[in-house]
Structure 1
Amino acid sequence: MRVLPDNRVVRFVARALIMVMVAVTATAYTYYQRPFVLDYNGMVYEAAFFGRTVADALAAQDLTVTDQDHVYPALGAPVGRGDRVVVRTAKQIHLEIDGEQQVLTSTALTVGEVLEELGARASGAEVSASRGDSVGRDILRISTVKDVSVLIDGQEIDHVTSLGTVRDLLLDMGVVLQEGDSVDPGLDEHLGDDMTITIARASTGADTIKETLKYDTVEREDSSIPKGEKVVVQKGRVGEAVTTYSVSLLNGEEAERRVITRSVLVEPRDEIIAIGTMDVSNPATSVVSPSEAKAIAKAMVADKGWDSSQWTCLESLWHKESNWRVTAANPSSSAYGIPQALPGSKMASAGADWRTNARTQITWGLGYIQGRYGTPCGAWSHSQARGWY
């Protein structure tokens, strides 16, 4: 005789089968979704998608890109579990360069990245915002490095400056204008390369007058600066003296003027210019060792007021990233240098010698850490948790 199963047993088995199917489906759903890290215009978050390529990942986030946007890796590249996808969308940035307004289409997020795109033209320039500031709607004013000459008191003074106007230049040089003096071009004119500024002194008819004392320009070779570039190490500043003259007249006109006494009120200060001699085609001959780079960084960390614990975090972070090698290059990306900037050319905002100069790389790296994480320990904690910083 055949015994039929109890209804309660049937219901229990059915429920068990349903639960197994749900569990299998959920496991399959989780398995086939690809988790990845999305860096969209500097905002970093974790996401997931069904698919294989970068294009699939962005489509899953309802993001569209144009030919002017920057996407890394490329749209057709595969995305593995936990990979990082970087998107920088293009926008119009309003600039004023040496008084001339321009519009730049760029994917830059910070002022430093804008300067990097402008290249050598912006090297050493004065900027209206900090290099670590985000690019906003305000006009970014940039004053490039220029060679100018000042004609004053019978002297021609050559000067290298990145200041914007004639007024700023004369203040920086220490030139004191007297009532009635004329300046050509005017004080509020923008400076241009190879500009000559003429100062005509007002005549008072006095034999004792204040005069400007010219400073000397000293050029020194510097192997830490790329060949062909120059950096103002010390700005020149004019001096000031009170001079008494003996004036001889002939037929009512001045025929001879002779110095009787001269009292120097302010000594002139030499302008010192470093001339680059470093051969960037052979970086191995100009870089410092990892131990030397660490010594430089340790001093710079202390200069920022960070304690020894912050130095320990930074030492660990950059040991992991590059083993403190100046020329460390990631073969799978464009990351470069001690802090592994991505791309390496970002460090140009700290100096044109970013490829080989440890101090330049460290300056950029500390600025990046301070702007993004606050301290080296903040960056190290993030690196330990996520594998990158």
Structure 2
Amino acid sequence: MSQKNTKGKRIAVLLIALALFITTTSLALIDGKKKNVTLDLNGKQIELRTAASTVEEVLAAQDVEVKPHDHVEPAMTTPLENGLAIQWEEAKKVAVAVDGDTQELWTTKKTVQEVLKEAAIEVTTHDEVEPALSTAVSDNQPITVAKAFQVTVKDGGKESKHWSTSTTVADFLKDQNIRLNNLDKVEGDSKAQLTSSNAVVSIARVEKVTDVVEVPADFKVKRKTDLTMLKGQEKVTTEGKKGKVQEKFVITKKNGKIVSRELVSKQVVEEPTHKVVNVGAKVVVASADTAKSTNKAQTAKSANVGVSRSNEPSGGGKEFYANASAYTAYCTGCSGITATGVNLRANPNMKLIAVDPRVIPLGSKVWVEGYGYAIAGDTGGAIKGNRIDLHMPTKEAAYQFGRRQVKIKVIN
């Protein structure tokens, strides 16, 4: 009985040892089929030993759900080899707007710059990108690109080129730090949209400056009546002198050119001295030397022949020879009124001569050879220097006298 028990125990031990051998052998065989692989799951590094036969089986064993836009390298069907490196990057959804035109993209790129490059969106140094190119991309990331265009600026007549992404003229001026003074003007609507097709900004630089100038002030001519002087005589008693006036102007300039000049004030800095002229008002009414004549008939008879046999006066006085001619109150262009106001048509027999006042003062009593006593009471355009014109009552008498040289005395 004891021998049987002993034999049974030995058999059991042998069976257990055999089972252990088989199990150990099986495990060794299975472990021999495993591969060492390295995983990069969205940047997380994992090293493992696996008996999976493909990349897909490895990722599935790690509970990785691979979506169509995800990046897997090598391909999912790649057989496993010892030391294989597997990379899985989960795709993110981004919205890229270029000048307002939006498109949605799936990407596994890390930064904004990489996303734009993958989408073949070229970005220059003048373009505006939000967020910055170096920003890491997250899921549902919005990316905005404003493409720069060239703007021509005509500022005060000077032209320059600028790159800009501004949508209005006002924004452009602010971004470019172009300052406007109070009077400066932007042509057109500063709130209007600015695009590459109308990218011209014109600025009128307006300034106002004050200009003060000194100009001469004309004097006036004041004429004073002088009863001591014969009518027709004039004498300057005060010479005129121009004064000075300070004029203040406001000048408006547009782009450096004067567009208006407005007089805003005047100030007299030196008063002018007005010219004063005394004008004679004394009227001389004279007749022939009746004191020497005995009756009117004899006077008229003498006038008709144009000569007088009156004797030459004695005593002093200015004496000289003059070229004499004769005229009547009805000559061509004559009014009959003398420079001293005598109406010769009303006094046809008056002895009166026309003189040059610089030689014989008007109003002087004179004696003329062959004519007698007379009054220097008229002037004439041709009567200059030592020349006189004798008044005759008729044309016949004037023609008869003709022209001759006579002796003349200025009595007073």
TM range, smaller chain:
0.3 to 0.5
Q: Which has the higher helix share?
A: 1
Q: Which has the higher strand share?
A: 2
Larger Rg: 1 or 2? 2
- The TM-score normalised by the length of structure 1 is 0.43
